[in-house]
């Protein structure tokens, strides 16, 4: 079981997937309703279709203008915080499962 946890790809908690429909100009949802990012053109995109979130903006203290990172709306900030909580829980569980194993020596 420990090996499975280590091999699972844990999504980065500072990235969001860009809305494919938005990229085509066809997303019918408002930015505040879509579960994917609707970034401005100035936001740097990654090859995997994701963008990096401005964690300073999430904390309410970004002073960059313009900022090259995505400033997510509140509903996506909640999604990010939930992902960070899950990632922390998985990392903690993995750490405890490997540190509590008896030594083979």
Closest CA to 37 of 61, 85, 82, 69: 69
10 Å CB burial of residue 51 (0-12, 13-18, 19+) is buried
Q: What is the pLDDT of residue 82?
A: 84
Whole-angstrom distance, CA of residue 45 vs CA of residue 38: 11
Domain locations in the chain as residue ranges: 2-99
Low-confidence ranges of the chain (pLDDT < 70): 1-12, 94-105
Q: What is the pLDDT of residue 99?
A: 57
Best CATH choice for the domain 2-99 from the list 3.20.20.370, 3.90.380.10, 3.30.1370.210, 3.30.465.10: 3.30.1370.210
Q: What is the pLDDT of residue 7?
A: 45
């Amino acid at each position: 079981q420990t090996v499975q946890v280590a091999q699972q790809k844990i999504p980065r908690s500072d990235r969001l997937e860009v809305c494919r429909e938005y990229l085509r100009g066809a997303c019918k949802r408002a930015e505040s309703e879509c579960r994917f990012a609707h970034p401005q053109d100035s936001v740097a995109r990654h090859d995997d279709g994701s963008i990096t979130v401005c964690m300073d903006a999430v904390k309410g203290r970004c002073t960059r203008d313009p900022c090259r990172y995505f400033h997510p709306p509140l509903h996506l900030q909640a999604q990010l915080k939930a992902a960070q909580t899950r990632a922390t829980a998985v990392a903690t569980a993995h750490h405890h499962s490997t540190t509590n194993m008896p030594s083979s020596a």
